Chains A and B, each alone.
Chain A
Amino acid sequence: MPASHSFRSLLPVLILLVLLALVPLLSPSNRFVSLAISAGINVIALYGLSVLFGQTGILSMGHAALVGIGAYTAAILARDFNIGFWLSIPLAGIMAAIVAALIGIPSLRVSGHHFVIMTFAFGQLLAIILTNGGDYTGAASGLDVQQPVALFGLSIDVLTHYYLTVVFFVALSAIASWAIINSRYGRTLRAIRENEKLAASLGINVGRHKIGAFIVSGVFAGVSGVLLAYFLRHISPSQFSSFPSIYLALMVMIGGARLLLGPLAGGILVAFLPELLNLDPVQSRILYGVCLIAVILLLPNGLIAGIIAGWHKMFDRRAAQPSEPAVEREGK
């Protein structure tokens, strides 16, 4: 596939992110910017999940725990080593990758179902460890992060500045995810998703690449965790337990894991929908449940793929042509 063609999938995402970076010019409310920051932080983790789930076909039900590893790494580095935001980003990414390897190596060698349960159990286990970690992890009440964040002497702690920082990292994640999808490595992962037995017969080390994909998704989660810790300024175990993990899986499914716009759409929708509809937490949980069932039944490739397919159907009907281009573009 020529590079110019594949770039077409990245372009709409970048344009959208540039537009989103201009949002502060409209002087939105603090509440709106905060929600947008939370959404963006999730989207970064979702781009990692899209490599894991969308490309490789493996579902993680404990991904928030890897975000938690990133967040706690940042908080502990700041407290004990006086290491700030920027250096925490790569270090927390590495830390989450190492933890992903430790979970992935024993569980991904076996089978997919096994892995879903292992990741879920890991999420629970991490919450227990953090809660019982005494002063080191701050136990149930968690840790504060006090280090200021600055770039070239300019404070980023201002809400809109932090928002722009998050948009920047979302763009980096989207580009990284796009580069993976369009590389030889991405093709290998898709081969595993499509048919493991055939992939192995062609010389692909299926187990190793599945673990690799999980490690890669861990890096995204770790970076997302640092941004979360420095945004909230306080982290606690319950933020990284099974519910947030299920939400992440839900967002990537709602948006669609295989298209580059999917994680962005999923993250934004799930963050803003309850706000737009004025729902309380219980109502919004019910709404998510209903949305998830609807998406799985009606749009198995996610909302964005569904919209594109629908668009092609309408367009092709008007042009009175068979729906061949829709098949071409779907699932890419």
Chain B
Amino acid sequence: MAALLDIKGLRKQFGGVTALAGVDLTVNEGEILGVVGPNGSGKTTLFNSVTGVHRPTAGTVSWRGRDITGIPANAVSRAGIAYTFQQAMAFPGLSVFENVQIATEHCSNTLTNRPWTTPASLLEFVGLSGLSGEKAGILPFGRLRLLGLALALATRPSLILLDEPAAGLNDRETTTLVHLVEQFPEHGISVCVIDHDMKLMQMLCRRLAVLDFGSKIADGPTADVLNDPKVLEVYLGGAL
């Protein structure tokens, strides 16, 4: 398996706070990688520093061998990396259809091996076809997360970064989400997902990386990582 995304020594400081203390992480082509860690351990900052939301303080990010450290968010998207934010986001004043339409219109990737290229097919895939005329701002939270997923897919990414995609979803919605995300690799989309729901992570991910205080403390097959004493200590044996 070739490394698609290769993060080396990534640091991010916010004033005196070190959110990332030099993290190495690779995402391989075709895999679903999980990133876990306690609140404030730097997971979101890791995604933000890769996707151009923040500029990393030090370290490098390579994408298919090309250095993309610190490039702006729109360029990251165009390179083929999509991002769904921890706070579910959409364009609230616009219709659900217009939301997805905007995302498809700005897709510059010509990758054709995607089953979803039109707004209608994307809405169909995430199960929002019936709501395409509604304003995104009135969607219930679970639906908003699904819309966020459709927006990310509309950019025809090769890698999608999901920050707590199941937070705030009920069991049924979580099952739907798992079913959708599981399909990504077969369509050429690798996944890196952050979540606290360990059942979800065990279902989705064969590999897990663990962050604690901005450093990676474990990285490997999911079962091994979850039995790692260092990881158990971080979670005080409770959360797992």
Residues of chain A at the chain B interface (Cβ within 8 Å): 1, 184, 187-188, 190-191, 193-195, 197-206, 327-328, 331
Contacts and interface: CB of A to CB of B under 8 A. Distances in A.
Contacts of A203: 74, 77-78, 106-108, 155
Nearest to A206: B74
16 contacts: A1-B98, A187-B101, A190-B98, A194-B91, A194-B92, A195-B90, A197-B89, A198-B89, A198-B90, A200-B72, A200-B77, A201-B73, A201-B85, A202-B106, A205-B72, A328-B133
B234 interface: no
A205 B138 CA distance: 27
A262 to B, nearest CB: 16
Given A190-B91, A191-B94, A202-B154, A184 B105 contact: yes
For the complex of A and B, the 4 pairs showing the least CB-CB separation, nearest first, are A194-B91, A200-B73, A203-B77, A203-B106
Contacts of B72: 200, 205
Question: Main SS of the interface on chain A?
Answer: helix
B171 to A, nearest CB: 27
Interface of B: 51-53, 72-74, 76-78, 82-83, 85, 89-94, 98, 101-103, 105-108, 133, 135, 138, 151, 154-155
A181 B91 CA distance: 16
A227 B217 CA distance: 69
A328 B51 CA distance: 34
Contacts of A188: 102, 105-106
B160 to A, nearest CB: 11
A331 to B, nearest CB: 6
B92 A202 contact: no
Max count, chain A CB within 10 A of own CB: residue among B73, B77, B138: B73
B15 to A, nearest CB: 19
Contacts of A198: 85, 89-91, 151
Contact of B77 (A184, A202, A327): A202
A202 B90 contact: no
Contacts of A194: 91-94
Given A1-B98, A204-B74, A190 B85 contact: no
A200 B53 CA distance: 9
